[in-house]
Amino acid sequence: MQTLIGLVVSDVALLKAFAEGHKQVLDVTSGLAADRGTWGIGFHSHGEMLIRKGPLTALKETGVAPHLKDIRARHVMLFAETSTLAKKLEDCSPLRYRDWLFSATGADSLGAGFAEAVQARLPTYAFSTRRQPGNDEAVMMLTMAALERQNARDTRDLTTRAIQKAVGIAAGQVAELAPSDVSVLAMVHVSGHLFAFALGRPLWIQRFRGTGDAARPGRLPRHEHLRALVIGDKTGDGAWEEVPVGLGVEVDASCEVHTFPLQLKTH
């Protein structure tokens, strides 16, 4: 089992306070029964993409909040998975490609031959010669190739429309190569923006205001100016919103949500 969420806050100075006040919604281990597995956190800070990973048992003991206390970032990827197979930490999400981060849940549903089909489609990439490629890395490479074709992987325009189009195209390619019962959620992060899409499963959003401190009657929440958002798999209770099927989501640094169509073929 796997859980993936993206956390976005409008004020980096309040990331720690928000995490301490919303431990339940940020608990990516709550739905995972087994202890054997890994966790990962990905974020942009100090001009580069940074990743922290470790064994799942450690995260279950401490929770996510202590790992966020020294992070100053508006976008954070949180991932956890149980696994019966031993995996190297570098093969576990989040994955990094240049100045992009990628994570996915449900990649096993893409089928045994999915990664090999992607390798055949991308012969000019080093990924095409990788032995025992993973499905999650294959989805990442489809996304990176789509970004490159839109001239959006290494070049930034004033808008994110080219990135949105590339992510939508990549989602369509995943659906094209995957079996009909696919159930995958993917997330891509570049500095200032988080993109997500889901195929065959829901994509959830929950919005927050303030850090979650108890407010006195008639008073606004503490740090009322803070806007925060959690997107991805549903964790815990709360006012979750389901993203309509066929749409991808972009969340910017101010927690504004923008939707865009996925390039899915209709039969």
| CATH for the stretch 2-261 | 3.60.20.10
DSSP-derived pairing of the beta strands 75-82 and 247-252: unpaired
Element (H, E) at 186: strand 184-190
pLDDT at 207: 96
**pLDDT, tens only, 158-201:** 789 999 999 999 999 999 999 888 999 999 999 999 999 999 99
**pLDDT, tens only, 111-142:** 989 999 999 999 999 999 988 889 999 999 99
The burial class, CB within 10 Å (0-12 / 13-18 / 19+), for 216 is exposed
> Per-residue confidence at 91, pLDDT binned at 50, 70, 90?
confident
- The residue with greater pLDDT, 76 or 59, is 76
Average pLDDT of the chain is 90
Helix (H, G, I), strand (E, B) or coil at 176: helix
Is there a contact between 36 and 249 (Cβ–Cβ < 8 Å)?
Answer: no
**CA dihedral in degrees (98, 170, 261, 205; nearest 10)?**
-60
Domains in the chain: boundaries: 2-261
Q: In what order do the strands lie in the sheet with 204-209?
A: 48-55, 37-45, 75-82, 2-9, 227-232, 204-209, 241-242
Q: Above 60 in pLDDT, residue 267? A: no
Q: In angstroms, rounded to a whole number, what is the distance separating the alpha carbons of residues 219 and 240?
A: 24
pLDDT at 262: 97
Q: Could you tell me where the DSSP H helices lie in 23-179?
A: 56-62, 65-68, 114-121, 135-149, 161-177
φ, ψ (nearest 5 deg) of residue 256: -75, 135
Residues 160, 163, 167: CA angle, nearest 5 degrees: 140
Q: Above 90 in pLDDT, residue 61? A: no
Q: Quick one: what percent of the chain has pLDDT higher than 90?
A: 68
CB count, 10 Å around CB of 178?
Answer: 21
State pTM to two decimals: 0.93
Is there a contact between 197 and 248 (Cβ–Cβ < 8 Å)?
Answer: yes
pLDDT at 218: 64
Q: Above 90 in pLDDT, residue 247? A: yes
pLDDT at 213: 67
